[in-house]
Amino acid sequence: MHFPSARHYAAIKSFGGYRPARVVTNDELATQVDTSDEWILTRVGIRERRFAAPGETAVSMAVEAGREAIERAGIAPTDIDLVLVASCTLPTQLPSAAPEVAHLLGIGAPGAFDINAACAGFCYGIGQASHAVQTGAAETVLVIGVEKFTDWVDPSDRSTYIIFADGAGAAIVGRSPEQRIAQTVWGSAGDRPEAIIVRDRRSLIEMDGRAVFRWATTEVRDEITRICAASGLSLRDIDVFAPHQANLRIIDSMVRALDFRDDVVVARDIAVSGNTSAASIPLAVRALLERGEARSGDKVLTIGFGAGLTFAGQVFEMP
Ligand code: ACO
């Protein structure tokens, strides 16, 4: 026998985001740890970042980003039948955040689960959402990447405190007359679990920055060509490159090594957002749209990479 199977097409319909109000400059951090504005700017490319207010949680930031994505897609919360929350900084292990986020947004009893793929989480989520729409498991999916790193970073550890920040980004994935999200390419390097790790429930983040930097600028960089090939396009067809915002030097090294057009728009949101892990790509894409640097119909290439180690990426058409 064979079971009924559906075949639909999927597209990203909108982006939304939430950036906490509090702006934290490098000079402010330099009053707390032994660092400087000059070191952070030249080694990482961050000018400022946002830290959540004491009352703000990963769930409350996810709700704000989700609400904006729903409004911008011109749909009602009740149209959504699947909610995915990508995060590696939730305050609790159990339950997951997605059901509560859905409830607070007025989405009635959707499928709901979290994804922990660290900084690759949003791209894993877009892949899952696209598959769900294509198979008919869902019709309209809310994908959120959210992080509250200030709960998990040691304020006396200058190698992580200056990098990580808080925020949330979101997208709506729904049915489309044509497939506008290309095949997701994903993978991992599980032989390096200690490169970025929270060892147990009483610990904070530890990171071997050099190891992650080396991996990102060699093995991960090589995957970008594979992500592009999975879309049937060449790198010269890509209008917008929106990689995970980990370090400006990583982004620039990727751009230098790859055969993008000279006029490709590159997301460099890290300068004002820091590293917001699963939130970094949707926040960066939203910023490009808001500034008019990217337009509807642009071909966008994304790649997320981080703890695990894991990576994932895909090409999609800008809503
Ligand atoms: N301020 C001043 N000096 C510093 C700081 C700081 N904040 N941090 C480190 N240093 C010093 C070091 O002690 C070292 O000094 P030394 O030479 O006297 O020993 C020197 O600066 C160089 O240190 P490195 O660690 O080699 O600095 P590097 O250029 O590699 O930058 C960084 C560190 C920014 C962490 C970089 O390695 C990086 O961006 N790595 C990638 C991180 C990443 O991509 N993470 C993504 C995933 S995150 C996730 O999955 C949750």
Domain chopping of the chain, boundaries: 9-176, 185-317
Scored b (16 or more CB within 10 A) or e, 22-58 reads: eebebeebbeeeebebeebeebbbbbbbbbbeeebbb
Name which of 227, 267, 260 is nearest 243 in CA terms: 267
Per-residue pLDDT of the chain (319 residues; tens, 9 = 90+): 888 888 999 999 999 999 999 999 999 999 999 999 999 999 999 999 999 999 999 999 999 999 999 999 999 999 999 999 999 999 999 999 999 999 999 998 899 999 999 999 999 999 999 999 999 999 999 999 999 999 999 999 999 999 999 999 999 999 999 999 999 999 999 999 999 999 999 999 999 999 999 999 999 998 999 999 999 999 999 999 999 999 999 999 999 999 999 999 999 999 999 999 999 999 999 999 999 999 999 999 999 999 999 999 999 999 9
What's the CA-to-centroid distance between 166 and ligand 1, angstroms? 19
Query: Quick one: CATH architecture of 185-317?
Result: 3-Layer(aba) Sandwich (3.40)
Task: Say how many Å lie between the CA of residue 209 and the centre of ligand 1.
Answer: 5
Answer yes or no: 103 catalytic.
Answer: no
Q: State if residue 209 touches ligand 1 by the CB under 6 angstroms criterion.
A: yes
Cα 53 to ligand 1 centre (Å): 26
Residue with tokens 């910023």: 287
- Please state at what angle helix 121-135 crosses helix 280-290, rounded to 10 degrees: 80
Contact (Cβ atoms closer than 8 angstroms) between residue 267 and residue 248? no
CATH H superfamily, domain 9-176: Thiolase/Chalcone synthase (3.40.47.10)
pTM, entire model: 0.96
Domains 9-176 and 185-317 alike in fold: yes
210 in ligand 1 pocket by Cβ < 6 Å?
A: yes
- Ligand 1 pocket, 214 CB below 6 A? no
